[in-house]
Homo-oligomer: A and B are copies of this chain.
Amino acid sequence: MPDFTYEIEDIELAQQGLHRINWVRERMPVLGRIKEDFSRTRPFAGMRIGICLHVEAKTGVWMDALTSGGAEVVITGWPGTTQDEVAAALVAEYNVRVFAKRSETTNQHLDYVAKVLSTEPHLIADNGAELHMLAHTNSDFSGAKAKLLGATEETTTGGFRLREDIDEHIFPTLIINDTRAKRIVENRYGVGQSVLDGIMRCSNLLIGGKRVAVIGYGYCGQGIARALRGLGAHVTIVDIEPLTRLEAHLEGYHTAELEQALPVSDIVITVTGRPGALKRDHLALMKDGAVICNAGAFENEIDLPGLRALASEPHQIMPDIQKFKLDNGKIVYLFGRGNSINLSAGDGNPIEIMDLGLALQSLSLAYLATNGQSLPAGPQNVPGEIENEVAVRTLRAWTRS
B350 and A204 within 8 A (CB): yes
Write out the residue numbers on chain B whose beta carbons fall within 8 Å of the beta carbon of A264: 401
Q: Which of B232, B233, B250, B351 contacts A208 (CB 8 A)?
A: B250
Q: Which of A3-11, A109-117, A386-394 contacts B (4 or more CB under 8 A)?
A: A386-394
Known contacts A318-B23, A388-B243, A399-B255; A250 and B209 CB within 8 A of each other: yes
**How many A residues, CB 8 Å from partner?**
72
Question: A101 → chain B, closest Cβ, in Å?
Answer: 21
Known contacts A243-B181, A388-B243; A206 and B401 CB within 8 A of each other: no
- Which of A287, A347, A356, A399 has the most chain B CB atoms closer than 10 A to its own CB? A399
Is residue A46 within 8 Å, beta carbon to beta carbon, of the partner chain?
no
B351 and A205 within 8 A (CB): yes
Write out the residue numbers on chain B whose beta carbons fall within 8 Å of the beta carbon of A227: 230-231
Closest to A255 in B: B399
Q: Which of B190, B263, B317, B392 contacts A23 (CB 8 A)?
A: B317
Is residue A24 within 8 Å, beta carbon to beta carbon, of the partner chain?
yes
Is residue A92 within 8 Å, beta carbon to beta carbon, of the partner chain?
no
Q: Mark A170-205, 1 if CB is under 8 A from B, else 0.
A: 000000000011001100111011001100110111
Is residue A234 within 8 Å, beta carbon to beta carbon, of the partner chain?
yes
A399 and B249 within 8 A (CB): yes
Interface residues of A in 210-227 (CB under 8 A from B): 226-227
B185 and A250 within 8 A (CB): yes
Closest to A24 in B: B204
Q: Mark A350-376, 1 if CB is under 8 A from B, else 0.
A: 111100100000000000000000000
Known contacts A20-B318, A27-B205, A204-B24; A392 and B193 CB within 8 A of each other: no
Write out the residue numbers on chain B whose beta carbons fall within 8 Å of the beta carbon of A200: 193, 197, 200-201, 346, 350
Write out the residue numbers on chain B whose beta carbons fall within 8 Å of the beta carbon of A318: 19-20, 23
Interface residues of A in 235-281 (CB under 8 A from B): 241-243, 245-247, 249-252, 254-255, 263-264
Compute how far the CA of A251 lies from the CA of B57 in the bound complex, rounded to whole angstroms.
26
Q: Which of B207, B317, B395 contacts A350 (CB 8 A)?
A: B207
Is residue A123 within 8 Å, beta carbon to beta carbon, of the partner chain?
no
Question: A290 → chain B, closest Cβ, in Å?
Answer: 12
Compute how far the CA of A345 lies from the CA of B209 in the bound complex, rounded to whole angstroms.
24
Is residue A312 within 8 Å, beta carbon to beta carbon, of the partner chain?
no
A234 and B254 within 8 A (CB): yes
Compute how far the CA of A24 lies from the CA of B202 in the bound complex, rounded to whole angstroms.
12
A208 and B231 within 8 A (CB): no
Closest to A229 in B: B252
What are the nearest 10 A-B pairs in CB distance?
A: A230-B230, A206-B350, A242-B391, A232-B252, A208-B250, A206-B352, A243-B391, A204-B347, A189-B250, A209-B249
Can you report 17 A-B residue pairs in the complex whose CB atoms are below 8 A from each other? A23-B321, A27-B205, A184-B243, A185-B247, A190-B206, A197-B200, A200-B346, A200-B350, A204-B350, A204-B351, A205-B350, A205-B352, A206-B351, A207-B350, A232-B250, A232-B251, A246-B394
